[in-house]
Structure 1
């Protein structure tokens, strides 16, 4: 048996303990990937301003010597062989091997080395009984073909020589936890050829502040232009274990280097119901305590911390040349940020980017619970609720697992599951990490799945609708499509996509689109904001006490309630703009009908009752009206924030349902009053072409706008005089009717003549890809379609079908 790998540097192989400062990433065979990475960051990334707590690591040589002097190797080999032959259970084998480590004694030379290095740390810091973290680092850890993350134990707030040596011994024994043995067996690793290094690192007082995990890639879609950060109060073990629902932040990497911008595109507050802190009085060095109401309703990190961590994530990724999984902590005494671990991300970075599957869920049953979606798949099946570890043997293979939370002991069971649902946990919890590696859809952090769901229940788990995962009653219809990006033919016409849901935008980032032709503001307002903007402006005058209570709860943490609308809307737009940046994203201003506005919280007090809202107080007419002008000002401020503070200058504004040229002038005037001056700072303003007057007076409208976007649904309705929602007249509603096509061809001709851009964002090309051929033949600049129609429309255009 070779005890030391051949990749170690000369002289390191025989050493028992090495300072982190003296380690490089190529020392993984000597101190494991985790400890080698810590040394690499300390020695090479300090010039980037990245701070990593100091410490030292025991080597694989120390591990082999511990085994040899305690005469353990033959007995270990025998125990493993008995289990592999079926003569012993995994639980008994793991227990017996771990017991060999715990009953062993430290070789004098190793114990002295650990003591000396620890005392050196005490001397340098001036702190007697310095508190350290004791972490395990397997010598085969974090290789591209396998990830051992979270399988070995870590021990926090360890102080004093005796406690340190005891924790180190327990680290050794954790190399043979049941889940670690099972994982190595599945991956084909020889249990007796892997050593364990122990990292002893100065503790960061995150028990007095917060800590978490971040990825330099989106963990679900593989979108490589964002940093994803999870954060919670206290020490970081609760996030890894999935014991709390953490805050979640996303930051857009391409704009991070410009200090004029704050490209935080998402901030979600988790409940963070408890935190892990030091316990210097009890039997254990740490304990969990409830968080205060103030901590639960506050964000763990401020914007500057979020940006600093994100910049560090980018620097670490650049240095290693691969997406990274990074643990961080903030010291509550000094307010300093630290990176405490970093390893290569092993799921999305290895995914085939040339082809991807999409899942469509239809005929959905009643929504039962929802949470964070892990993965992008969907599955229907029968539930099996497991309440605790003592009942793991009751799981029915092939079922959908429901649990409060999972930890590594649940690993063998999770491999048999069709999907996973948990009450607790964020994107970096154990349930999320394992589901991702196994390729299983999971909905985590539901808060109440174990209360509402029960064993034997048939459900559909959908992670195919964005970053929220849903559990529906019964078996829904699930359609799977595989898109091969390498087979798409080239085309001359720009093909864009229509998007509404910011959380679902990341699903489509791999599509080679030319931008987003239609961003629907209504979706963000109704799903993410939910409050009528005028109810925020005039909160104090609301008569509906129930609405006031709901608004107060949703806007908790906002001293000025309109800022809730501005921040939420701008971040929703940012998520969409980010997926195509720097290509254009055309944002349509609000186009709710009055009845739809009334359905928003507090909306009924500000909206008139109309017999025909489709042709009533909607679109451009609202923006300069005293009834809504103050609400429209919030829309403008959100877009101004998006472009000028967050940096997404690829956002184009589009005015819907603009009936007259005079109305166009009024809208542009109000926009300018609110900081959106057409042409200033590159701002372009488009107009929807969805009313016959837009076609007839296209030359006049072209003098006030930079582009047209044809809304074929409304235009067809008004040209033919047919209610598009009428079942009685459904046979008459036809976007390919000859008169509709003539009007479309006419406006395309005028727009091109006036040097004005023109595209289409209506449904016709998505429902009838051959309609796209007519548009290309008419000289249209761009066609925007639903994402699932993109391939079909592109193929039709490339083939030249129906082009005559």
Structure 2
């Protein structure tokens, strides 16, 4: 780590002060401040001790550039304007009349006139923020819009302009003429361990040419005074002008031609420290951060990375229907375009690339000594992976709480709601809470502002808010916010919501990050939520049922139980958990327990596979026969059922299987992957505590309910005591399917290295059957002789 350096030092070794520039070249600015403090510093000149000089983002980039590039990390080169440049900008005397033509902001006319008479930008902004009512969104909207207009109308002081010109010229020397750069805000209060500023400030991508760099610099400066940023700070008793803004100018990584995303070195929902969470999508990474695209998600086990083993313990294919790329024409630098349908069904990163990212994440976490939130990008020209940002994870990273808060709904009620079709929408659950309230549907934050203006007009006309019909209210505390996606503009409203529902986004989107920080449940990626959930509809949202979040019609009771884990003493009796679904394992593993006493493989088969194993094993033969080909020998035992089903129905079945397995050419691999990932996630979450997994024990009627199950399963009078458990594994008709199960489990122990996996054989009728199944497992490397507790 770099040593902390004195921001007041007049000269720092290795740093060159920007030479004085003439002060009469920029109209509207009379520069009087004179200092030998540098206005720009390069990544090679700064480290974590310099956050007070160049802000959190730049100091972290510099720290990685200086300390970790030599260890194999890739960080694009760049520089940052310093706090001194910010002070020069704020304190430069401004000629009278500079702000005369700025925005006519509503509700702040008197304040606007007073601010226009101030001699500096700092004084004008101070007047705008004095006594600002943070609970009045409409007035805050007007004040901050005016503040941004003042910033954009203020000319850059010559010294700041010259410093930026010199820095961009040096990048041009290194990378070529008109080098494309990212211009990114780096606030002194940003990226700390205590407060996440989750996209509070602007970034501008694909900026080419000095004039556009200067324009983007002022865009970053203006973003320090958005409603969300100012309100965020004022609500935390921070003065927006006491902090300072640095601006990073760094070489762009051409991820518009490849992919990009974010990583957490801790599970962002549960805080489980065994896992690295990687999100990936095509194009520039802004859409992942915004939450306007559902990315691919990969979970890596840290111990496997450290030991050089296969580390992937879970993968989910995202929709990835849009991507951000360089704009081909027009005035914008980037644009969002559709992704080709065939590419949506493919992974946006190869497995070896995910592993490389995991190693980078581990290196960063070990260097900083805390969980980290990391942005990465893949260069489409070179194929290289780069780190473009790293900041402390703020929800769990400093979490010293020992109170466990558990939200539950009555299981009978949940079953009844699902059976009666009362599930209105589903998506990815963020957190584990439950909440209910009235729905408020908004397409954009600007729509909220328009509604607030109309409400204020009603109040001015003498109407009391409580007397107005509910549909004329804009948003009451405890309402359910439903929108397509959130941006930082939404945060004043998000703080008041009981539940947040978005149509787009994943667990690393803006909505998810902010919901965690505010302690509000969110369900993201709810398709068509703004159409299904109607204004003022009463709903209950549950994030307490695992990976999937449910929106139920109506207000329903739920229970909240709090337990201080710190007060639970040591027990002589071992306490182990029953774990049903793998997606709850990361949360369950945070409970004080001695491991998993029972994890049923059938939950993975029904929830994650959903297709009969023989339908996957013989998929090619099924497809050929459904298309009019001859019956393959492997399918001969099922001729009667296949003929009864008919080729038309078989073609529909083949299509359904293809839709469920889009990224797999070999459907057998799909089965092995799903079982492997389900078991591996449970074992990794609890490692090194033991996890006892019961081998598959579906009954014939349950197998028939799987896709394609009718073709391969008999109709039995009493499935409870019929073809199940050990007898299935030993039956030649099913042994090939059991082999796939064994392949997955063997991979978990031998390739990933999760040696805490233990096995249980269910429904073993006789000692002879027991010996036979042990021999079968022994042949497949899963017996006592292979070191597997059985």
TM-score of the superposition, structure 1-length normalised? 0.82
Q: 2:554 aligns with which of 474, 491, 498?
A: 474
Matched, 1:342 2:390: yes
Residue by residue over 1:4-40, the C-alpha shift from the partner in whole angstroms, topping out at 9 and shown as x without a partner, is 9965666258110011110011111111111111001
1:265-414 to 2 correspondences below 5 Å: 265-362=313-410, 363-364=413-414, 365=417, 366-392=422-448, 393=452, 394-414=474-494
Which of 12, 15, 31 aligns to 2:38? It is: 15
Partner of 1:453: 533
Between 6-15 and 638-647, report the one with greater CA deviation.
6-15
2:70 alignment partner in structure 1: 47
| Contact 1:244 1:424 (C-alpha < 8 Å) held by counterparts | yes
1:166 matches 2:271: no
Distance 2:552 2:283 in 1: 35
Q: Please state if 1:76 is matched with 2:99.
A: no
Structure 1: where are the runs of 5+ without partners? 686-804
CA distance in 2, matches of 1:5, 1:460: 52
CA contact (8 A) 2:778 2:785 kept: no
Q: Are residue 62 (structure 1) and residue 88 (structure 2) matched?
A: no
Matched, 1:625 2:731: yes
Instruction: Return the alpha-carbon distance in structure 2 between the equivalents of residues 482 and 302 of structure 1.
Output: 43
Q: Answer yes or no: is 1:637 the counterpart of 2:719.
A: no
Whole-angstrom CA distance in 2 between matches of 1:551 and 1:678: 36
C-alpha spacing 1:525/1:353, structure 2 compared with 1 (3 Å): farther
Secondary structure in 2 matching 1:266? strand
Question: Which residue number corresponds to residue 258 of structure 2?
Answer: 209
Distance 1:235 1:673 in 2: 48
CA-CA distance at 1:388 after TM superposition: 2.5
What are the Cα deviations for residues 119-177 of structure 1, in whole angstroms up to 9, with x where unaligned? Answer: 1111122x100000000011122233322231111000001111111111111111111
Match of 1:532 in 2: 612
> Residues 571-582 of structure 1: matches in 2 within 5 Å?
571-582=677-688
Distance of aligned partners of 1:536 and 1:124 in 2 relative to their CA distance in 1, 3 Å threshold: same
What's the offset of the Cα at 1:341?
0.6
Quote the residue 2:471 is aligned against.
none
Secondary structure of 2:759 counterpart: strand
* Residue 483 (structure 1) shift: 2.5
Stretch deviating more after TM superposition (670-679 or 40-49): 670-679
Which residue number corresponds to residue 130 of structure 1?
A: 179
Contact 1:386 1:395 in 2 (8 A): no
SS, match of residue 498 in structure 1: strand
Contact 2:276 2:299 in 1 (8 A): yes
Paired residue for 1:95, among 141, 145, 149?
Answer: 145
Alignment partner, residue 235 of structure 1 = 284
> Could you say which residue in structure 2 is the equivalent of 1:425?
505
1:742-753 map, 5 Å: none
| Matched position secondary structure for 2:575 | strand
Task: Give me the whole-angstrom Cα distance separating, in 2, the residues matched to 1:610 and 1:84.
Answer: 71
Q: What residue in structure 2 maps to residue 263 of structure 1?
A: 311
The aligned runs of 1:705-784 (5 Å cut-off) are none
Q: Structure 1 CA distance, aligned partners of 2:556 and 2:145?
A: 44
The Cα offsets for residues 576-610 of structure 1, whole Å up to 9 and x where unpaired, read as 11122122111111111111111111111111111
Partner SS, residue 397 of structure 2: helix
What is aligned with 1:108? 158
| Aligned-partner SS, 2:587 | helix
Deviation per residue, 1:423-459 (Å, 9 max, x gap)? 0011121111111111000000112212221122222
Output one character per residue of 1:88-111: Cα deviation in whole Å (capped at 9) or x when no partner.
921221122112221122222221
Deviation at 1:673, TM superposition (A): 3.4
Alignment partners' CA distance in 1, 2:220 and 2:408: 46
**Number of residues of Structure 1 aligned to a counterpart in Structure 2:** 679
Change (3 A) 1:178 1:281: same
Distance 1:564 1:56, change over 3 A: same
User: Whole-Å Cα distance in 2 between the matches of residues 10 and 274 of structure 1?
Assistant: 49
Q: CA deviation at 1:65?
A: 0.5
Instruction: Tell me what 1:671 maps to.
Output: 777
CA contact (8 A) 2:137 2:492 kept: no
Q: Cα offset for 1:84?
A: 4.7
Tell me the secondary structure at the aligned position of residue 492 of structure 2.
Answer: helix
Equivalent in the alignment of 2:23? none
- Change beyond 3 A, Cα 1:88–1:585: closer
Residue 99 to residue 390, structure 1, CA distance change in 2 (3 Å): closer
Aligned to 1:731: none
The Cα shift of 1:82 comes to: 6.0
Q: Secondary structure at the match of 2:558?
A: strand
Q: Distance in 2 between matches of 1:177 and 1:419?
A: 24
- 4+ residue runs over 4 A deviation: 4-10, 84-88
Contact 2:266 2:272 in 1 (8 A): yes
Task: State how far apart, in whole Å, the 2-side matches of 1:378 and 1:663 are.
Answer: 47
1:236–1:483 CA distance, 2 compared to 1 (3 A): same
8 Å contact from structure 1 (residues 420, 440) kept in 2:
yes
The residue correspondences of 1:147-162 to structure 2 (distance < 5 A) are: 147-162=196-211
Greater RCO, 1 or 2 (C-alpha within 8 Å, sep 6+)? 2
Contact 2:91 2:121 in 1 (8 A): yes
Q: Residues of 2 paired with 1:440 and 1:466: CA distance?
A: 16
- Partners of 2:74 and 2:609 lie apart in 1 by 38
Write out per-residue CA displacement over residues 690-748 of structure 1, whole angstroms, 9 at most, x where no aligned residue.
xxxxxxxxxxxxxxxxxxxxxxxxxxxxxxxxxxxxxxxxxxxxxxxxxxxxxxxxxxx
Pick from 651, 657, 663: which aligns with 1:545? Answer: 651
Counterpart position of 2:54: 31
Deviation at 1:639, TM superposition (A): 0.5
Quick one: structure 1 residues 512 and 195, their matched pair in 2 at CA, closer, same or farther if it must change by over 3 Å?
A: same
Report the Cα distance in structure 2 between the residues aligned to 1:417 and 1:63, rounded to whole angstroms.
Answer: 35
Aligned to 1:380, what secondary structure does the other structure show?
strand
Q: Of 639, 651, 655, which residue of structure 1 is paired with 2:761?
A: 655
TM-score of the two chains, using structure 2 as the length reference: 0.84
Output the CA distance in 1 between the equivalents of 2:475 and 2:345: 36
Contact 2:346/2:662, CA 8 A, preserved across alignment: no
Q: Which runs of 5 or more residues in structure 2 are unaligned? A: 13-35, 95-119, 453-473, 623-641
CA deviation digits over 1:554-585, x for unaligned, max 9?
12221211111100001000111112212211
> Contact between 1:466 and 1:506, CA under 8 Å: does it hold in 2?
no
| 1:443-485 per-position Cα deviation (integer Å, ceiling 9, x unaligned) | 0011221222112222221111222211122233312222222
Cα 1:320–1:73, aligned 2, differ >3 Å: closer, same or farther? same
Q: Distance in 1 between matches of 2:40 and 2:243?
A: 18
Aligned to 2:788: 683
Aligned residue in 1 for 2:587? 507
Cα distance in 2 for partners of 1:5, 1:23 equals 9
Cα deviation for residue 87 of structure 1 reads 13
